[in-house]
Structure 1
Amino acid sequence: MGNLSIVLLVIIAANAIISFKGFSDFAFFEKYKFSVGGILRGEKFRMFSSGFLHVDMGHLFFNMFTLYIFADIVVSYLGNLHFLIVYIGSLLLGSLLSFYFHKNEYHYSAVGASGAVMGIVYSAILLQPNMSLYLFFIPIPIPAYIFGIGYLLYSMYGMKKQLGNIGHDAHFGGAIGGYVITLMLASWLFKEHLLMIVLLAIPIVLLFVLKKLGKI
């Protein structure tokens, strides 16, 4: 992992330490989780702190393992500092989109690094759109950009149908964060991967059009 190891280890350690504290301290978990009611009371810090809390070990492991898989691609292209900017920016964008969609649901709450992790995943997809990804239930490789488009469409469907106990909007917001911030930091992508940039933008534009029309 080279130079990434320190940055990645700090992020994983922060997630692990804060999550383990939350596992055993209900008051701590309640104070720092994403909570629409809390945010409306002025506790904006929840938009950041909730990204380091998880509901259980499985949730924590899945997010950190996914981060580990994709982090090296982002840092190799953008460097450690910009990797961190993509991670934190995506975390905040995920929280902001969640708040945007649930601002009228006073008791809505959520936790997890999924928004930040999805930002890193989408940053990696932009940087290497033709890399192959394997899904557990599909034994054939899928081009990264097709996975990216498909996942955003699935997230939109999940938001509309409120599928499972999953923050689909945070995932989508994190992906938008990774997409936008990466393009700001690596403008050369417009020259090398313009078609992929346009294709990956379609679900993002579609989300806000459907929201405007009241379909989501």
Structure 2
Amino acid sequence: MGKLDLVTIVIIVANVIISYKGFGDFGFFEKYKFNVGAVQRGEKVRLFSSGFLHVDNAHLFFNMFSLYFFAEVVINLMSVSSFIIIYVGSLLMGSLVSLYFHKQEYHYSAVGASGAVMGIIYAAILLQPGMSLYIFFIPIPIPAYIFGIGYLLYSIYGMKKSLGNIGHDAHVGGAVGGYILTLILAPWLLKTNLFMIVLLAIPIVLLYVLKKAGKM
């Protein structure tokens, strides 16, 4: 079993075990989900624990399926330790951004590894911007950077319009976390992939501008 298999499987197994515990134990789910009021009362563990809970099998599968395919790029081009730092850091950044945008909504709750996974996706795109992705129901490959930018723009739009029962702000926070941590851990990208770094920063700058203008 290679390094990729080990670290990825450990994270996936942890997500499956904790999520299934939450599926069958409402008290456990309520105790460890992200909740603004509880976090503000001092239950900071929820910023982390909520990233291992999911609402159902489809939610869990989509996140773990995405993680499996992008983890290899980050581990192979960086290291296992860098992958773990980006995963955990993006998870926490996703929770912190959710807390920031919903700090007045004491009943706001969320769960899922989406922030952590978005961080890994953004890291993988920075490291290998030329790779292509196949998306469900779309028969042609999509350049990874198009997917990354498009998904983040959609998440910002989702935040603005409060679309669906989805933690769009956690997606955005995770992507920002992955972007920043990858550049800190792999500064050589500033020389080799500068254009892509600037391109991927566009949605992040847009979010900042919208927030400063009071439109978020």
Give the Cα separation in 1 of the matches to 2:77 and 2:164.
35
Tell me the secondary structure at the aligned position of residue 55 of structure 2: coil
Write out per-residue CA displacement over residues 51-108 of structure 1, whole angstroms, 9 at most, x where no aligned residue.
Answer: 0000111111111011001100000011111110000000000000000100010100
Partner of 1:59: 59
Q: Which amino acid aligns with 1:76?
A: N
Partner of 1:10: 10
Partner of 1:99: 99
Q: Which amino acid aligns with 1:130?
A: G
Give the Cα separation in 2 of the matches to 1:66 and 1:83.
15
**Structure 1 residue ranges without an equivalent (≥5):** none
Partner of 1:24: 24
Give the Cα separation in 2 of the matches to 1:128 and 1:49.
30
Give the Cα separation in 2 of the matches to 1:179 and 1:104.
27
The alignment of Structure 1 onto Structure 2 pairs a total of residues equal to 216
Partner of 2:36: 36
Partner of 2:130: 130
Partner of 2:185: 185
Give the Cα separation in 2 of the matches to 1:117 and 1:5.
16
Give the Cα separation in 2 of the matches to 1:161 and 1:183.
30
Query: What are the equivalent positions in structure 2 for 1:141-152 lying under 5 Å apart?
Result: 141-152=141-152
Tell me the secondary structure at the aligned position of residue 134 of structure 2: strand
After TM superposition, give the deviation of residue 124 of structure 1 in Å.
0.4
Give the Cα separation in 2 of the matches to 1:38 and 1:133.
39
Partner of 1:115: 115
Give the Cα separation in 2 of the matches to 1:61 and 1:35.
23
Give the Cα separation in 1 of the matches to 2:98 and 2:202.
20
Q: Which amino acid aligns with 1:16?
A: V
Give the Cα separation in 2 of the matches to 1:129 and 1:79.
18
Q: TM-score, normalised by structure 2?
A: 0.98
After TM superposition, give the deviation of residue 180 of structure 1 in Å.
0.6
Tell me the secondary structure at the aligned position of residue 18 of structure 1: helix
Give the Cα separation in 1 of the matches to 2:146 and 2:22.
36
Give the Cα separation in 2 of the matches to 1:163 and 1:111.
16
Write out per-residue CA displacement over residues 135-160 of structure 1, whole angstroms, 9 at most, x where no aligned residue.
Answer: 22322221111111111111111001
After TM superposition, give the deviation of residue 212 of structure 1 in Å.
1.3
Q: TM-score, normalised by structure 1?
A: 0.98
Identity %: 74
Give the Cα separation in 2 of the matches to 1:106 and 1:208.
24
Q: Which amino acid aligns with 2:157?
A: Y
Cα RMSD of the aligned pairs, angstroms, is 0.9
